[in-house]
Amino acid sequence: MSGGDGGRRVIDGRFALEARLGGGGMGTVWRARDLALDRPVALKEVRPPDPDLAEYDPEAARLLRARVLREARALARVEHPNVVTIHHIVDGGEDTYPWLVMELVTGGSLQDLLERGPMAPADAARLGRELLAALRAAHAVGIQHRDVKPANVLLRPDGRPVLTDFGIAAIRESTVLTATGSIIGTPDYMAPERITGERGGPDSDLWSLAMMLYVAVEGHHPLRRATTLATLAAVLNEQLPPPVQAGPLTGLLTAVLVKDPAARPGPEALDRMLAEAAEGRATAPHPAPSADPATSYRLTPPPVAPPPAGAADTVRAAPGGRHRRRGLVVGSAAVSALVLGVVLWQGLPGGSGGSGGKGDEDVVADRSRTPTAPATGGAAPGTGAAREPEGAAEGEPDAPEDLLTPGGVRHAVDVLRRETGSDRFGSFTVYPEYVSASVMLKGSDTKFDRYLYRLDNGVMKLPASGTLSNEVPMDLDAFDWDALPRLLARAEKDLNVAEPTTRYLVVDPVDKVFDTPQSLSVYFSDAYGSGYLKADPKGEVTEVHPAES
């Protein structure tokens, strides 16, 4: 397998390793030279996350190796300009892992590009359309990527994107990993159905693509939290903050980033929407696939095995911090059940491990910040575009400059009630510049429409509707908004976020399954992490979860 060539390691007597390009849980990538053809190539040895797998579970290692080879050979048949080309597979036999010999793409990665700042929406749409074509070519031969993220998008010198690193497609499906309940991938870009252990499908890759485009144009990840577990919980449970800098991509992102895979636009519709956005035209929302547009998807909590002694305390006590980890591996059935069945479904931002950072397997653009750019649009509600609010009632005070104040919250509640004709809410989240809310449909205790209210652009009805599963609709008059300044002051004092770049308030309803009452939660975040405190409807603090120093 190896030889000498001026002191360099040579693989298969032909490929001389020159420099390490990167690596992570799936193996190491090298710049190499093909001595037979005298051309530069990239070499990757695909390995499982556990280097001792072959010793303690040789059958699992054999199955993993066979799976990697099978999918590498299938991928080698994909001839597409936006899929990295596999030139050769070095297979040394049963006791080795294969080396993949691939084209060397020299223009850096999308992660490198985004570290210099957000992309223009039209440019992001053109890039997204090429990557969608790459995914469709892979899906056509039965391969799902499962780890679409900026680090796995390489750029040719002319700027054209190339999708690489399909290794998780093989490794995630291997017997040993599914048997232990592990999750492998970058949590920030994983579709909700993959987090819960469902198999997912090609549309899960489309979610990841859309989330990557969101990050590309907004300059931050909307659901990244201080810890891996909190990020997973946010992806599963929290409403996506509507993009404010996406321009013509806004409708597409809103349509794709919904939790129900069946409600997402298919690849043909997505391609059309990307083409429209690339030309600067607003993308039309995807029509609901069912006859009932108000239905929504709520992921069913997986069965919860009794956690090992002390495990619950470990999850609650272990703070997320500024230490960054590469990707995510939750490695045992007990821990997976605990994480997914208890922490995620309660949406507790606790647990251990980072949720991003800079590294070979990490995601980019973790500089979370409060959106400031105005939303675009001016069409009537129901189209996914914004409309200006109707004139204030006679004698009504002017709109406040900051919604994250007692007067600001009351103003937003009044405007949403007037504009929607409903006074019951399923969710309510307040940022300084905007409020996102689920507003119940008249006569229903479960069905709602989603709305965004911005001080600078009025009320916008979002194209995704939904259905409450466990929650009880809220009357927001039950909350003491005058307690908000006191809660914000307590957050500044106790959350250990010295210079927060994001501040927001989440109003949570009663949850009948988990027997949790109505509550207020104040979140502070910066580029390194976040903390939060929880209070009852009268503003009495019940929990404090500071960011780690």
Provide the annotated active-site residues.
147
β strands within 377-420, DSSP E: 386-387
Distance CA 546, CA 541 (A): 13
| Cβ-contact 154, 84 below 8 angstroms | yes
Distance CA 329, CA 168 (A): 12
Distance CA 378, CA 384 (A): 10
Distance CA 346, CA 425 (A): 19
Distance CA 227, CA 342 (A): 16
Distance CA 547, CA 549 (A): 6
β strands within 314-472, DSSP E: 328-329, 386-387, 425-430, 434-440, 447-454, 458-467, 471-472
Position 163, amino acid: L
| Cβ-contact 148, 176 below 8 angstroms | no
Nearest one of 118, 244, 241, 226 to 526, comparing CA atoms? 226
Distance CA 205, CA 133 (A): 12
Position 512, amino acid: K
Position 507, amino acid: V
Q: What are phi and psi of 242, to 5 degrees?
A: -60, 140
| Cβ-contact 231, 355 below 8 angstroms | yes
